[in-house]
Amino acid sequence: MPDFGAGDFRIRLNAARLDSFVQSAGSDGQEIVDAIAAGTLPLDVTVGGLGELLEVDGRPKWRASGSINWEKGPVAVGLFGSYVGKFYDTSVVRDVLIVSDDPNANFFPVDDVFTMNVSVAYTINNDTALDGTRLRFAINNLFDTDPPLADETYGFSQRSAQSTRSPVRH
């Protein structure tokens, strides 16, 4: 940004939109799929993770992050935000299945999540043993946003919780 005499500003924005995520069976998997179709294996044998997997099991359509950093002299302030879109957890299925055009209608919806981190840093600039030492105070997940409920370890999706990590550097 232009220098207005108010310090140095850095603004970053990253966004990713996943259009599609299709996975096909490998040779071993296809052999099982063919055996189910031929009746050699019972219909309750399933091969998961095939077909269109967009917004399924931690593959949201949208992810975004952004940061604003300000630095003037020995002081630096940073603000970081992260967004992870919704997806469906296929390890949870409705007890009573519903008929729908949505292939994910019977799975558990994992909500989208937005988190924010903030940090303040001070760099010691003097002719002592501490010269160049940076003291940093940071709060990750500033608003104490809980990760969305999912049927995973500890009750939430690790992929959603990663949004609380901040790559902000001063």
Same domain for 87 and 40: no
Please count the helices (runs of H) and the strands (runs of E) in the chain: 2, 9
Same domain for 121 and 131: yes
Same domain for 27 and 94: no
Q: What is the mean pLDDT of each run of 10 residues along the chain (170 residues)?
A: 79 96 86 89 81 89 96 96 94 89 90 96 91 94 90 74 50
Backbone angles phi, psi at 35, to 5 degrees: -70, -35
Tell me, yes or no, whether 111 lies in a domain: yes
Domain span at residue 33? Answer: 20-53
Tell me, yes or no, whether 118 lies in a domain: yes
- pLDDT attached to residue 1: 60
Backbone angles phi, psi at 128, to 5 degrees: -120, 180
Tell me, yes or no, whether 48 lies in a domain: yes
Contact 130, 153 (CB under 8 A): no
- pLDDT attached to residue 164: 47
- pLDDT attached to residue 27: 84
- pLDDT attached to residue 155: 77
**How many domains does the chain divide into?**
2
Same domain for 70 and 49: no
CA distance 20 to 68: 31
